[in-house]
Amino acid sequence: MKKILITTGGSGGHVIPSLSIYDALKDDFEVKIVTDLRGSKYINNVDYNFSLIDVPNIFSNILLLPYNLIKFLTAILKSYHYLKRNNFSILISTGGYMSLPLCIASKLLNLQIYIFEPNSVLGRANKFIINYAKKIICYDNDLRNISKKFLNKIYLVKPILRKEIYKYKKNEKTKIEEKKKILILGGSQGSKFFDEIITKIMIRLSKTQKIKVLQQVINQKSKNNIKDCYLKNNIENELFDFDDKLISKIADYDLAITRSGASAISELSYLNIPFVAIPYPYAKDDHQYYNAQLYEKNECCWLIKQRDINENNLLALLAKIFENESDYFYKKKNLIHLTKENTWEKNKINLIKLLNEN
């Protein structure tokens, strides 16, 4: 049985897809995960077999560059010994700087390296490693930031979602009810912009629409402030910073206002929830914008840049969405068409087939 190591870390956007890959492969291969301290908070150590190798961000502080460089080189040595000791034959990297020591060590040991890139822009760590990778597993055939000489390495799959999501009933509403249910997702770390601006817009929207809000917030202080504002304006609400049971609550929501991390919008799309995408403007290579653009091109969402938003124009967009149901349900129909071939078994078979190639 082949031994496979999945390296991941940092944000939920990197870690959550790695857990899905682990679940898809664990019955056919011997699989382990390596992550950093930041990534470990997204992993349930009861359900997943993982180890820690912490990796510094070399350029996070120029004054600490020599120290971080030593730590990075140490991480390569730790990775080398870890891979050799456990006799892995395949490494799957989900990107991020924490993956680099394991990728470098895998190259030194002549392991097969596969890159996983859920975004529509090739990440910088993956771009560094792609020369040594056998294939790059991705969702977008028009992947940006990739050299033409590596296009033959693209292995296209449908978005690899958490296994549990495939068990949930999709949103099958054929009419928007009087009370509009709105989901607000600011990303795995929350968003100050969402806490401040989107909250104000919800309050203004509540003057003309009956709404219920399920909203991700930055922290407990923000949660308390927003809850007070919503209660004063008689807005039914539920607020959270991180909720691993969120997916069980959202299937009957009418609309999402969301950042456009690959996992978040893939899950919303699979559940047939139309969304307004507001990409995180400081994401490397603007990858969240291009993630959302893929769905906009398929007429599945509304896309607006944060810099272009003010209270009036986003409020007008939301009002238009709820007033013009034909456009809303047209986008929902396109979501259904876009995701109909996405099943857990098909993704699992495609991954196993790839990793069993000689």
Domain ranges of the chain: 3-161+343-355, 166-339
Reading the block at residue 166, the tokens are 């495939």
State the burial class of residue 149 (Cβ atoms within 10 Å of its Cβ: 0-12, 13-18, 19+).
exposed
Handedness of CA 85, 10, 344, 216 (dihedral sign): positive
Chain position carrying tokens 């496979």: 4
Distance CA 194, CA 167 (A): 30
Quote the Cα angle for 44-46-51, to 5°: 70
Whole-angstrom CA distances from 78 to 43, 100, 102, 304 are 21, 12, 9, 44
- The predicted structure's pLDDT at residue 188: 60
- Kindly give, in sequence order, each residue whose CB lies less than 8 Å from that of residue 63, ignoring residues fewer than 6 positions away: none
Distance CA 290, CA 119 (A): 8
Question: What is the pTM for the complete model shown?
Answer: 0.90
Q: Where are the beta strands (DSSP E) in 62-107?
A: 90-93
Best CATH choice for the domain 166-339 from the list 3.90.1300.10, 3.40.50.300, 1.10.357.10, 3.40.50.2000:
3.40.50.2000
- The predicted structure's pLDDT at residue 349: 96
- The predicted structure's pLDDT at residue 190: 59
**Residue in 257, 246, 277 with CA at minimum distance from that of residue 165:** 246
Helix H or strand E encompassing 155: strand 154-156
For residue 8, the SS3 value is coil
For residue 57, the SS3 value is coil
- The predicted structure's pLDDT at residue 126: 92
Chain position carrying tokens 């929350």: 190
For residue 65, the SS3 value is helix
Per-residue pLDDT of the chain (358 residues; tens, 9 = 90+): 899 999 998 777 788 899 999 999 999 999 999 998 888 888 887 888 889 888 877 767 777 778 888 888 999 999 999 999 999 999 999 988 889 999 999 999 999 999 999 999 999 899 999 999 999 999 998 999 999 999 999 999 999 999 999 998 899 888 889 999 999 998 765 588 999 999 999 999 999 999 999 999 988 888 999 999 999 999 999 999 877 778 888 989 999 999 999 999 999 999 999 999 999 998 888 999 999 999 999 999 999 999 999 989 999 999 999 988 999 999 999 999 999 999 999 999 999 999 998 6
- The predicted structure's pLDDT at residue 11: 76
- Architecture per CATH, domain 3-161+343-355, reads as 3-Layer(aba) Sandwich (3.40)
Distance CA 54, CA 97 (A): 11
| Domains 3-161+343-355 and 166-339 agree in fold | yes
What letter represents residue 292's amino acid? A
- Kindly give, in sequence order, each residue whose CB lies less than 8 Å from that of residue 202, ignoring residues fewer than 6 positions away: 182, 184, 211, 213, 215, 230, 235
Phi and psi torsions of 56, nearest 5°: -80, 150
